[in-house]
Structure 1
Amino acid sequence: MGVAAPILKELSEIVEVLPEEENRKYESDRWVYLRLEGARGGHALAVVRPKDEHQVAQAVKLCARGGLRLTCRGGGSSVTGSSVPIDAVVMDMSMMSRIIEVDRENMVVRVEAGARLSDVEAQLNRLGYTLGQFPQSFHLATVGGYLSTMGTGEFSGEYGGAEDSCLSLRVVLPDGSIVDTRSTDAPRSSAGPDTTRLFIGAEGSLGVIVSARLKIYRLSAHTVKLAYTFQEFIQALSAAKSLLELDVKPAVCRVYNEQESSYVFGQNSPVMLLIYHFRSPRIAEALTGEVRDTLTARGAKEADAGLVDKWLVDRFKYDEQLGTLYGAGYIVDTVEIGSSWSNAPALYGDLVKQLPQIEGVVGFGAHVSHIYNQGACVYITVIMKPNANTYTRLWEAVGALCKAHRATVSHHHGVGLLKSGLVKHEIPFSLLEQIKRALDPHNTMNPNKLL
């Protein structure tokens, strides 16, 4: 059942409505659960494709008036089902992909929400700048989707995540009104709560992001790449923490356990990869010496820096790697957990002990993908038989372990349908629900996921 004919006619007068046979393409994203036999995907009542914020506002207003749910879609790269429509109109943002302005003096780019990160980065690179946001979905993810799920990229040590990149947003609210979360060009303001952050991570449940002002950076003149091996993963984890005490933090720090090191690099022991960016070759030389001394003192052995080059070449080849496993009859899911330093060793130990014991799990690997002064992201890859019971048990175990170790079950993938029942204890959801009711009293915007 689709949209009633009168409302569909009104929609088509406001915005492009795709032919009904196109709807099915928009009823799933990259959530692996939807590959399981018998799994029910979403249902798109219609698919609309706006060309500007005025069309977005009019379509949102009409959906609210007609009692229709609305789900926005960027690049469709979500692995949690956040863009799967549940009896909803889908708003495809791909036509709103303009880079509106590159402000070199103030180091800001203003861009529409449907622009792909890779396209924005390519244009900035031609001008000598970078956005610095490189998620694994780099070639698919859009600015709006990335901000809406509060994603982060592989170079977060230098550039931060989505929340650090964004200065302000232009948003269509559920009643069709349009707001700027900041009307000034100031780099910071104490004029009230930061309303920009209200929409970052909200997964489209509070409004439609139509454009954003994002920070840009000059491309670095000097890049230092280093690789090390360790005897044990926990030893490498402790060494990674020690790097944060030096004068310059690594742009990239990745630590692989034995299983992933073997699969990815052909190494039999844990591997650490480091990338640093510098303006001055003298600073690069001095800091590199400090890094070497620090890691050697902690039992590390320097390895071929070509391992870093291999990672840089292979890091976006996720589909190729998945294709081999899917072809062999398995499915793969990833678990990205944010943990404090004090809890990370015990959390990792429990993950290694419990997850491989789940019936149907046939492969398991882990690495640390992001480090902070306060903790790290432990990223788990699980290969399993395509069985719904196995999948459910896996995520139940992950949720329980995260709760036990005061960790977050979602470091950068968002919530969606997958994790909506696993995150309620992490933040004051009653407060978010009050905000949702105030902004979206008809529950129009991407309901029954995060909110």
Structure 2
Amino acid sequence: MLSKEALKRKYNRGDYTVGAHTVPKFAREAAPEATTARFQTSALPAGFVENLAGLAGVTEVVTEAAAVTAGVRDWWAGTMIAETDHRGQYPDTVIVKVSSVEGIQAVLAAANEAGVPVTASAARSNVTGSALPAAGGVVLDVLALDQVLDFDEESQIITVQPGIFGDIFEQWLQDRGFTAGNWPSSFGISTVGGWVACRGAGQLSTRYGKIEDMVVGLDVVLADGTLVSTGGSPRAAVGPDLNQVFTGSEGTLGVITSVSLRVHRLPDYTKALAFGFPSFAAGLDACREILQRGANPAVLRLYDELESGVQFGHGETNVLLIADEGNPIIIDAVMAVVADVCKDAVVLDQDAILETWLDTRYLTGKSAEGFKASAGFVADTLEMVAPWSKLPGIYERVVAAINAVPGTNAGSAHQSHAYVDGACLYFSLRGTVEPDERQAWYDQVWQAVNSVLIEENASISHHHGCGLLRSPYVADSLGTGFTVLSDLKKALDPKGILNPGKLGL
């Protein structure tokens, strides 16, 4: 039997400090070194930067080239390729740090009047370029807005500012006997505002839901500086859910200034099981059956043979890891369903597999494990979602599409988030080419995969969002629905200043 802390506090294993923020030491690998390319901000309107520095709530305006480059860097493979190719430059860009909602309002009002682009930014842990200033202008740094504003313990609703880091947020809750239940791989280097803006998911999402399932209400500043509030009720039938307009909008429709979330009591009971399946399709079928019988274990993760070998030393099978936490009556019932569904599978050492997963689940760059690094090596991940009926075929087609691109080492996948009607497959892409061919290989493999996903009518992203990486595919992915998104953008941001170049907008 695992202790009640097994799934909850495993991250707390020796910390180090990044700026003013303490994060788990194994949650972060070294980011690429900044290039020192210089640029001018002369294309910004005369006097605009000086005006920003004088606004109430603005604490700093960063204009020096190297500091701007370092201050916008994210974890996207495309950023790393560009910087090491000496293309990581952001001309006509300044970083504006704010310490209050009023500061956000003032900056947006000034930028809107001047027609200057604004890209909201916090921890920059995203892997799609969603917080990169594609059109220059203002990078609005909201990290200083990092406070817990309110906690309704009886209703289990907490309200926080967008810049609070995931581990600090979770520790605050756990000290009071609660958990948010949202544990992304970027847990120690991401913020609550980023989770909401990119529609993120934690590793225990089958039990607790994705971030959009947790949002109760939002405060958002629109492009012209107007502050609006949405939601606030457990459920409502007063028109569309306006929380969902801004959840996942990646800063293209407004800047989030506070988030109210549903939280949960800390669990006091956990169980885990692990099995091996002869094929990925057979494992997917077991996952589907578990969910459709009414069980929803917190962890339900299936790895193909390549990833089973790299992650757990079981390359002869397709490893399925199941773990759950909560009320003993419920968890025992869930695990009884799991055991019955998997009765014909090979039983594996669940303690060893779970321990390995817990030890490595916050490591960045896991897609590169098992492959030789070199100057021309590129590794990235791609997550998508589709109905169960399509997933086995999509798995085969996507892996084949990855492997067909010249220079590819291997494509692989695991199922990471599951629902009654479908699941997310999380693919790893790896290639070794000449250093000056990395961008071409990267573009080609992403084009190959997205062509398959659009043809299969699958969603091109489950929880990483779109950013610059997926922006070219959004219109095709949404089909006729893209017109609605485009019209909404025009209504809320008529001058188009908010995070241009993202979501296909």
TM score, norm. by length of structure 1 = 0.95
Structure 1 distance, partners of 2:169, 2:199, is: 18
Deviation at 1:10, TM superposition (A): 1.2
Q: Deviations over 1:340-397 (max 9, x none)?
A: 1111111111122221121111132210001111111111111113512211110111
Q: CA RMSD in A?
A: 1.8
Structure 1 distance, partners of 2:186, 2:146, is: 17
Taking the TM superposition and a 5 Å limit, the aligned residue runs for 1:186-335 are 186-268=233-315, 269-280=317-328, 282-297=329-344, 299-319=345-365, 327-329=373-375, 330-335=377-382
Instruction: Give percent identity, aligned residues only.
Output: 31
The answer as to whether partners of 1:26 and 1:90 remain within 8 angstroms in 2 is no
Q: Residue 58 of structure 1: which of 102, 106, 112 is its match?
A: 106
The answer as to 2:53 corresponding to 1:12 is: yes
Structure 2 distance, partners of 1:303, 1:279, is: 24
Structure 2 distance, partners of 1:113, 1:266, is: 39
The answer as to 2:121 corresponding to 1:121 is: no
Taking the TM superposition and a 5 Å limit, the aligned residue runs for 1:105-184 are 105-182=154-231
The answer as to whether partners of 1:31 and 1:78 remain within 8 angstroms in 2 is yes
What is the match of residue 30 of structure 1?
75
The SS at the match of 1:425 is helix
The answer as to whether partners of 2:45 and 2:114 remain within 8 angstroms in 1 is no
Structure 2 distance, partners of 1:43, 1:312, is: 42
Rate the CA distance shift 1:357–1:322 in 2: closer, same or farther, 3 A: closer
Structure 2 distance, partners of 1:68, 1:169, is: 25
Point out the more displaced range, 223-232 or 12-21: 12-21
Deviation at 1:192, TM superposition (A): 1.4
Deviation at 1:302, TM superposition (A): 3.8
Structure 2 distance, partners of 1:89, 1:124, is: 33
Structure 2 distance, partners of 1:320, 1:396, is: 22
The SS at the match of 1:305 is helix
Deviation at 1:247, TM superposition (A): 4.0
What is the match of residue 355 of structure 1?
402
Taking the TM superposition and a 5 Å limit, the aligned residue runs for 1:425-436 are 425-427=476-478, 428-436=481-489
The answer as to whether partners of 1:18 and 1:47 remain within 8 angstroms in 2 is yes
Point out the more displaced range, 1-10 or 69-78: 1-10
Q: Deviations over 1:294-337 (max 9, x none)?
A: 2014x343433320121011100125875996853312110101
The answer as to 2:445 corresponding to 1:399 is: no
The answer as to whether partners of 1:136 and 1:316 remain within 8 angstroms in 2 is yes
Structure 1 distance, partners of 2:53, 2:382, is: 40
The SS at the match of 1:423 is helix
The answer as to 2:415 corresponding to 1:368 is: yes
The SS at the match of 1:188 is coil
The answer as to whether partners of 2:268 and 2:325 remain within 8 angstroms in 1 is yes
Deviation at 1:278, TM superposition (A): 2.7
Deviation at 1:103, TM superposition (A): 1.2
TM score, norm. by length of structure 2 = 0.85
The answer as to whether partners of 2:204 and 2:299 remain within 8 angstroms in 1 is yes
What is the match of residue 68 of structure 1?
116
Q: Deviations over 1:98-134 (max 9, x none)?
A: 0111211010010001111221111101111011111
Q: Deviations over 1:391-440 (max 9, x none)?
A: 11101111110012111111111111111111212321111111111111
Unaligned segments of structure 2, at least 5 residues: 1-39
Structure 2 distance, partners of 1:323, 1:296, is: 31
What is the match of residue 27 of structure 2?
none
Q: Deviations over 1:225-254 (max 9, x none)?
A: 111111111111101111113343111110
Structure 2 distance, partners of 1:283, 1:204, is: 39
The answer as to whether partners of 1:146 and 1:162 remain within 8 angstroms in 2 is yes
Q: What amino acid maps onto 2:61 in structure 1? A: L
Structure 2 distance, partners of 1:300, 1:159, is: 28
What is the match of residue 77 of structure 1?
125
Structure 1 distance, partners of 2:485, 2:191, is: 25
Structure 2 distance, partners of 1:171, 1:286, is: 41
Point out the more displaced range, 135-144 or 13-22: 13-22
Deviation at 1:168, TM superposition (A): 0.8
Q: Deviations over 1:254-301 (max 9, x none)?
A: 000000000011102110111112312x4444442332122014x343
The SS at the match of 1:422 is helix
Rate the CA distance shift 1:45–1:326 in 2: closer, same or farther, 3 A: farther
Q: What amino acid maps onto 1:440 in structure 2? A: D
Q: What amino acid maps onto 1:172 in structure 2? A: V
Q: Deviations over 1:142-177 (max 9, x none)?
A: 111111111111111011111101011000010101
Structure 2 distance, partners of 1:350, 1:19, is: 46
